[in-house]
Amino acid sequence: MNKKEIAHIRKQFKMDNELMKIFDILNVYIMKETNEVYHWERNPFELVDREKQELYMGNFKKLLTGELDHKLFELKFQEEAEDPSKVLLHQAIQTGDPEEWQDLMMLLVNKMLADTTYERDTVITFVRGQYYRPTKARNDAAEETGNDEVFGHPFILCSVNSTEKQRKALLFDYVEREFKYNVIVDPIIKLSTPEQGFFYPSVTDNYSDVNRVLYATGKSNDPNERFISDVLNAERSVTAMEEREIFEDIVKEVAGEQLDSATIAHVYEEIHQVIESHQDEEEPAKLDYTDVERVLTASGVDNVTKEAVERAFETIVDDKNYELKANSVIPKFTSKSIKIDTKVATITISPQDLRYIKQVSFQGKRCIMIEVDEDAVIEGFTLTTETLLEKAD
């Protein structure tokens, strides 16, 4: 599943969309004290108040917002799992009976409650529906449009949202003309910040893939391993942060612990070029040990050989044929995604500008030197330029 396919699905979650039909919605309220189902209700989505529909649509769109391997993870189902959720979900997506679908979703809820303690009251929302994808692009000049022939893709979406108590407040009653204390005790369901959920089935080459599921987490690089393994019965995926750590360990294994800023900048530029050259391809760019060898050699790292990089792959990931996702191993190239923390200041800089920073020794002290093209201004004052010379021994 690539970002274009996710973006297409996310875009369908809007009101009055002829390419999206949601049939039923099931809400399950979990009490934190007892960790049990306190209340549930299922309704045809079209009978839900329009204001509520808009809130739910925003929740579903938010759930599917984020980068792959950061907040969204396409997962394979486990080959051998007891009472596999793959079978349960497949049955649920095929049934046309709302009650049978509801019963199957409640079985998933039971899995979510097993051996789990929720810190707050929690609402689990399921919807079943179908989105449609035109078989060809719309042609406004022709009488026939791309929507005349579409493929239907049935789906199930689940969103897990915590609740919070309403804040104490003082209200003014216009009718009685008096100030009143807010006594509302009903919890607020945080639909704008889903904690996790999933979309089934996944999509491969614009076709539904029942062997995979798209898992979503509310915190970047922090998937819930128990939910993935015990609820979805899926195989865990490597996060972008973990992928970057693997790449860093491989480079350290080959080049050593220390590199100058210019070399690091060259490494990032080489990988960025690889990413740019694969922009028009469906699959994201990947780096095997031969690619990493080429990147390090082109960046000026000394004594790099293909054999050394191959051994590093075997040492770090125990697989010389492992492929790293290029997007995951470098910070965002055009934004200030690199943070340099020191005792006196925090510097943020983009990878493409890393070449202008150096760590130098001056009078026996380590210093960060930043090359600039213009005068630095602090609180309206232009700094004077000093010429620093080290005394000869």
The whole-number pLDDT of residue 136 equals 57
* pLDDT class of 246 with cuts at 50, 70, 90: very high
* pLDDT class of 79 with cuts at 50, 70, 90: confident
Task: Kindly state whether residues 116 and 201 are assigned to the same domain.
Answer: yes
Domain count, the chain: 3
Task: Kindly state whether residues 226 and 248 are assigned to the same domain.
Answer: no
Range of the domain at 77: 3-134+146-236
Cα–Cα distances (Å) from 122 to 32, 107, 118, 192, 327, in that order, read: 7, 17, 7, 14, 34
DSSP letter for 46, please. G
Question: Per-residue pLDDT averaged across 21-26, rounded?
Answer: 97
Task: Kindly state whether residues 8 and 86 are assigned to the same domain.
Answer: yes
The whole-number pLDDT of residue 352 equals 87
Domain annotation covers residue 392: no
Contact partners, residue 361, CB within 8 Å, separation at least 6: 367
DSSP H or E segment with residue 39: strand 36-44
Task: Kindly state whether residues 217 and 319 are assigned to the same domain.
Answer: no
Q: In angstroms, rounded to a whole number, what is the distance separating the alpha carbons of residues 240 and 70?
A: 6
Domain annotation covers residue 156: yes
Question: Per-residue pLDDT averaged across 178-191, rounded?
Answer: 82
The whole-number pLDDT of residue 146 equals 45
Tell me which of 42-46, 121-125, 331-335 is least confident: 331-335
For the stretch 139-173, pLDDT in tens is 444 444 445 577 889 999 999 999 988 778 888 88
DSSP per residue, 115-154: T---SS-EEEEEEEEEEEEESS---TTSSS-GGGSEEEEE
pLDDT at 296 over 80: yes
User: Hey, what are 336's tokens?
Assistant: 């200030």
Q: Which of 205, 236, 267 is the last residue of a domain?
A: 236
Task: Kindly state whether residues 183 and 247 are assigned to the same domain.
Answer: no
For the stretch 83-117, pLDDT in tens is 899 999 999 999 999 999 999 999 999 999 998 88
